Amino acid sequence: MPIHDQSYRHYGGERARPGGAWTVIAWAGIRTMIRKRTFLGLLIFAWLPFIVRAVQIYLATNFQQAALLAPTAETFRQFLEQQDFFVFVVTIYVGAGLIANDRRANALQIYLSKPLMRAEYIAGKLAVLFTFLLFVTLVPALLLLLLQVLFAGSFAFLQKNLFLFPAITVASLMQVLLASFTMLALSSLSKSARFVGILYAGITFFTASMFAAVYAITGSSAFSWMSIGSSLTQVVDVIFRLKPRYDTPWMVSLLVILGLIVLSISILERRVRGVVVVT
């Protein structure tokens, strides 16, 4: 083709088989987020508790005087609980616009006119939020466990608390899945990312306030299932082999979490479509 010919020409190269488009969506979403300086700052800030804990483990394993700071299984539970705040902020920052912005720009019909299924689109969007949430929960928690082994120079702690690795993994995944699915479902309900963020925060605080009010009236924590955050706390306590802090049976809390995820999937199934049929 002559260099000056800027006309249309046919493509003779290779094409990927359908099924991998979700990775394209996920990478594009991740790249878009990490280009934002504010978000990078937030991610760095989210790792501050990790640094504090790392110093704590270092001191405890290297200085007799700091034995008081020696980590226990509960230390890792506390660390994940500290990360709740960052999970909340990252969920809103990353997740609110994931589908809402696409709905505002009518991008769904562009996406779904390509060789990808609705499930792939959802998986791609989910992967964006999922990745960043794991980056502030599972990754630093497992790294802390590794640091403990490295600083102590022995596997004694790990052997004594073998359950910690699966506990951290399962607890983080549960927290991340719940946040990702609920946020994505809310994002599919509106064309405004700001509204979605407010809605997510509202639901989180409203359910917590409801439980607090009922607790204040009845004096019983058996209604912790009313709060999304408390339900998660209850289940994660059980995963870390700690005494659950509320009177609600942990199975009920688990059902609340699973119910929310199923509800979110159902919303996504209804809302992520190439056309919205108004009858």
Can you give the binding site for another protein, defined by CB under 8 A?
Answer: 6-11, 13-18, 21, 24-25, 28, 32, 97, 101-102, 104-107, 109-117, 273-275, 277-279
Half-sphere exposure of 197 (CA within 13 A, CB side): 15
Backbone torsions φ then ψ of 14, nearest 5 degrees? -80, 160
Backbone torsions φ then ψ of 105, nearest 5 degrees? -95, 10
Q: What DSSP state is assigned to residue 65?
A: G
Which CB, 116 or 239, lies closer to another protein? 116
Which CB, 99 or 267, lies closer to another protein? 99
CA-nearest of 229, 236, 85, 67 to 164 is 236
CA-nearest of 33, 51, 147 to 90 is 33
Q: How big is the CA angle at 33 (ends 127 and 108), to the nearest 5 degrees?
A: 60
As a whole number of angstroms, the distance between CA 34 and CA 244 comes to: 37
CB of 29 to another protein, least distance (A): 10
CB of 278 to another protein, least distance (A): 8
Which CB, 49 or 97, lies closer to another protein? 97
* DSSP secondary structure letters along 88-131: HHHIIIIIHHHHHHHHHTTHHHHHTTSS--HHHHHHHHHHHHHH
Which CB, 28 or 44, lies closer to another protein? 28
CB of 94 to another protein, least distance (A): 13
CB of 277 to another protein, least distance (A): 5
CA-nearest of 183, 185, 174 to 231 is 174
CB of 245 to another protein, least distance (A): 42
Which CB, 23 or 82, lies closer to another protein? 23
Which CB, 102 or 237, lies closer to another protein? 102
As a whole number of angstroms, the distance between CA 146 and CA 193 comes to: 38
Which CB, 177 or 272, lies closer to another protein? 272
CB of 114 to another protein, least distance (A): 4
CB of 188 to another protein, least distance (A): 15
The dihedral region occupied by 241, where left means phi > 0, alpha psi between -120 and 50, and beta the remainder, is left
* Contacts (Cβ under 8 Å, ≥6 apart) of 170: 239
